[in-house]
Structure 1
């Protein structure tokens, strides 16, 4: 019967055996115990295939010059907006307002930080007190790295107006625009335009409720929120005796680096899988070789030893 080589040692000593023998069974078990455990170890420790990774990017955020201001009190509702349709709908509560904005860029420890500065001047015919102020600011939000994403987002500012204010009042609000995601981005998918505008008149027969708009927005897969970090109210001395009340709202929106969750592409998973597999394979390969050397050199399994000259 033909003999087959099952193991060689130092390229001079060869161990031969028959096809159906304990040496063949032992060699087969060594092969399985060498190459399969690194695969299972990497897979069950959630490191072999990356289902989700993270990366950092500074988004490109542009203020769209769109806003909605709602001041609700026990006595009256005050409203102003950049949208003419909403102004017509709330014409009985409409107050005049002017908007200015600019975006400086400055560096902090080597990181370029974007900050959108928005100023809204609102004129009231009477004083406001014990009111809730809601300011909706609309931005265009873009990511330009792994997934390309471009969408309209919202920054909602909610303030409680103090009970005692002078005729001219200013409020300064500092915060940052934070990105939220219900599921990771897909790196190989192009989100060039998703989710549509915040207020889509095409889906409403009349002007929609702001509560419904906010509920629909926060139920999106990807959305932003304005996280307030500092609020200061101040009374500005009046230079005349007019009965006009002026409210100046200054908002500084910081846009720092943010962390995003994403699903890596197939080749990224494949590359990391092989790196982790070979890293785990080395110790198993070393132990298996030592075990085979011990078994064959001590004759624990029956073989025919052949020596090369």
Structure 2
């Protein structure tokens, strides 16, 4: 009958047993009781892998000096854009506008711009009282730590002009540009759905649909919104009575502070510290099991054949 070594002591004493013996069953039981308890403890406390992580980062945000200004009412549409193609599309509703100033600022001194001050001027032939104003500001948004993202994003500002406005009007808008994500960012894959411009002229044969553009943008996995925090309107009469045009000045302050981002780590990041915890907790189990087996075999509590080496 074949004999198997089930235990050895000090490299001189060997304990042998038949395959279907109590010594073999005892050794298998000790094996399970040594390795499984720390395994279950580590798994049910923290798990073995990071499926999703979060981290804080100050994103690099810059205004691309691209904007669309839509003043809408029940009777007419007034449009102005930094894109000449859009101005040509809406030539019948176009009114001239200019980007007067764009000043990025670093408030917390970390050498990353976290505030954008933007001023727009537009000249209109009539008052904008009770009109709806939609301003699209287009930014370049990038993350540079664990996940790498570089995409064009939108800050949509929606305002309603008060009824008491005079000829020269100014509106000051303060808000936060916030990042939204429908799923964690894959740190090892470039997402093609966020590449390219927000307004893709190749998908439109004639005039772009703004509703369709917004629907496509808001259905992306990653996008930004402008959280409006404060709005102040002011107006004054025209300085010259012969000037029949209405001037609207829009001052926007866009803050972009640090945010929490969800991402899926790569393989080495997934190999979390629980494995270290497992091997650490395995050591006392291994020590106790060896002492227990030494006691059982040396005292003959299970039937074995003892052989001593010279």
Structure 1 length-normalised TM: 0.85
CA distance in 1, matches of 2:306, 2:34: 24
Q: Report the equivalent of 2:265.
A: 264
Q: Once structures 1 and 2 are overlaid, which stretch shifts more, 282-291 or 236-245?
A: 282-291
Q: Deviations over 1:26-54 (max 9, x none)?
A: 22222123223433444455621111112
The RMSD of aligned alpha carbons is 3.1
Q: How far 1:141 sits from its partner (Å)?
A: 1.4
* Gap change, CA 1:42 and 1:161, over 3 Å in 2: farther
CA distance in 2, matches of 1:231, 1:294: 81
Q: Deviations over 1:1-42 (max 9, x none)?
A: 86735265xx59967342433233222222123223433444
Q: Report the equivalent of 1:98.
A: 98
Q: Report the equivalent of 1:150.
A: 150
How many residue pairs were aligned? 306
CA distance in 2, matches of 1:133, 1:283: 70
Q: What secondary structure sits across from 1:211 in the alignment?
A: helix
Q: What secondary structure sits across from 2:108 in the alignment?
A: strand
* Gap change, CA 1:32 and 1:167, over 3 Å in 2: same
CA distance in 1, matches of 2:42, 2:70: 55
Residues 79-94 of structure 1 aligned to structure 2 (within 5 Å): 79-94=79-94
Q: How far 1:305 sits from its partner (Å)?
A: 7.6
CA distance in 2, matches of 1:180, 1:283: 46
- Is 2:279 aligned against 1:278? yes
Q: Report the equivalent of 1:141.
A: 141
Residues 16-165 of structure 1 aligned to structure 2 (within 5 Å): 16-20=15-19, 21-43=21-43, 47-99=47-99, 100-107=101-108, 114-165=114-165
| Contact 2:46-2:274 within 8 A present in 1 as well | no
Q: Once structures 1 and 2 are overlaid, which stretch shifts more, 19-28 or 41-50?
A: 41-50
| Contact 2:60-2:112 within 8 A present in 1 as well | no
Q: What secondary structure sits across from 1:32 in the alignment?
A: helix
| Contact 2:4-2:17 within 8 A present in 1 as well | yes
| Contact 1:39-1:277 within 8 A present in 2 as well | yes
Q: How far 1:243 sits from its partner (Å)?
A: 3.1
Q: What secondary structure sits across from 1:103 in the alignment?
A: strand
